[in-house]
Amino acid sequence: MVAAARPNPDTRQPLDLTSAAFHAHKYDWYRWMLEEAPVCPARISVLKVNLVARYEDCRSILSDARFVRSRARARGKGGASPFPFPLPGSVMALASSMIVEDDPAHRRLRNLVNKAFTARAVSRLSDRVEDLSHELIDGLDTSGPVDLLEAYARPIPARVICEMMGVEKSDADELHHGMRVLTEGLSGLGIVRTLFWDLRRTTRFVRTLIEKKRADPGDDMLSSLIAAEEAGDRLNEDELLAMVFLLIVAGFETTMHLVGNGAQVLIEHEDQRARLVAEPELWGLAVDELVRYRGPVHATKPVYATEDVELHGRTIARGTPTFPMLGAANMDPRAFERPETFYVGRSPNHHLGFGFGDHFCLGRQLALMEARIALKNLFERRPALRLAVDPSELELARLPGWHRYKALPVLVA
Ligand code: HEM
């Protein structure tokens, strides 16, 4: 990396998290932050933020009562918008999910859904994931390049979360399209269009889904959330909407990109693939190591200090959005031996790829199960899988907080 391109916390040039320079050399920037800028000023578009890079600092911020999710609370303004910019009313409902709430509201909402994600509930879904994965591998085009993200990595978690929620297949496609437009649009340049047009459209669509399910309930998560809403005291209608939205967004784009990033890392590491062939029982550890080494989520939602906090000689000012950078923390040599080496037998592996503290990922077990089955079947049945382009041509999406490719062209035969 060119030294002059490095961010300097003492200048007025905060690191631009949407810049091509950052995404092209992300791991160089992380190394630099870990050593020289553990609290690093940055920006997302016009929004000024702080990044916290080191493993122990991320863990302590994510469990420190002085840091909260609600910006309004951090600034002592009860009732004000939790967001740092004005949002249309219809959109606020969608965006106000438990991931941006603090306890007790957060805990009340999380308790409504956590039983669907226990180890037992997840293990009951594994046969379905096996079937889906084999069906998709059978259908992979062997005559030329295919985008592994679209042809394989997306449909597995997308169908699983829709089935868990009880969303009909005919509605699932529109929903996935809507979700994709949103995740890409909300961090991109078209944010205004996304906020005032796409998000409204998706809100209307999710409301219609809820109405359909209300009329015809089943044995699924959406029906039980609607029952909780109808009981009156546990969930209001906006919370219901936000929960559906959160579970669907969190439930498939993340896992999809873990499978994509994972396939890319495994293609690159022939020795580690060979080890998995010899010791298939290592697949569980291997997937956790993939989450550490190239997980799809590199930052939590912003947290806000309720008072000025001093850290490594810098002040995190009250109310400023602060991002624990999980992607950097997972490369911290203070926490991991040889962090830049990917090896499938790494154990213990207390990485932060699923977050930490009260908002620790609810879907971790589901994601690990889906990714393990998807990657194991893929490499066992298509051992010659390789990239269809030079690795330098793969393009990362410039979405702050994510590590994901725009496409993953591979040759399957
Ligand atoms: C590889 C896949 C996944 C990764 C890397 C991942 C990562 C994360 C991370 C880092 C957080 C913490 C965010 C924060 O503190 O702001 C989180 C929270 C969450 N995740 Fe996941 N996730 C994955 C898959 C899933 C799946 C499959 C679901 C299931 C629907 C899910 C549901 C959630 C929910 C609901 C939260 C919010 C929990 C709360 O606020 O209490 N995630 N996830």
Which residues have a Cβ under 8 Å from the Cβ of 196 and sit 6 or more positions away? 88, 91
Say if pTM beats, i.e. exceeds, 0.85.
yes
CATH class of 15-411: mainly alpha
pLDDT for the residue numbered 167: 87
**Candidate of 111, 115, 161, 362 to mutate for ligand 1, largest count of ligand atoms within 8 Å of Cβ:** 362
pLDDT for the residue numbered 3: 41
Q: Residues near ligand 1 with C-beta < 6 Å?
A: 98-99, 110, 161, 246-247, 250-251, 254-255, 258, 291, 295-297, 300-301, 326, 353-355, 359, 361-363, 366-367
Rounded distance from Cα 278 to ligand 1 centre (Å):
32
Sequence spans of domains, the chain: 15-411
303: helix, coil or strand? strand
**E strands within 21-61?**
39-44, 47-52
Planar angle of CA 261, 263, 267, nearest 5 degrees: 120
What percent of the chain is modeled with pLDDT above 90?
62
pLDDT for the residue numbered 79: 56
Beta bridge partners of 315: 310
Q: How far apart are CA 223 and CA 268, in angstroms?
A: 43
pLDDT tens per residue, range 292-338: 999 999 999 999 999 999 999 999 999 999 999 999 999 999 999 99
Is the backbone of residue 129 left (phi > 0), alpha (psi -120 to 50) or beta? alpha
39: helix, coil or strand? strand
Whether residue 126 contacts residue 369, with contact meaning beta carbons closer than 8 Å, is answered with: yes
pLDDT > 60? residue 10: no
DSSP states along 133-183: HHHHHHH---SS-EEHIIIIITHHHHHHHHHHHT--HHHHHHHHHHHHHHH
Beta bridge partners of 322: 50, 303
Helix residue ranges per DSSP H, 236-363: 237-268, 270-278, 283-294, 326-329
Element (H, E) at 119: helix 119-123
Least confident interval from 129-138, 218-227, 383-392:
218-227
Which residues have a Cβ under 8 Å from the Cβ of 342 and sit 6 or more positions away? 265, 269, 272, 289, 290, 293, 294
Which of the listed ranges 210-214, 252-256, 278-282 does the model predict with the highest average pLDDT? 278-282
Give the residue with greater pLDDT, 230 vs 159. Answer: 159
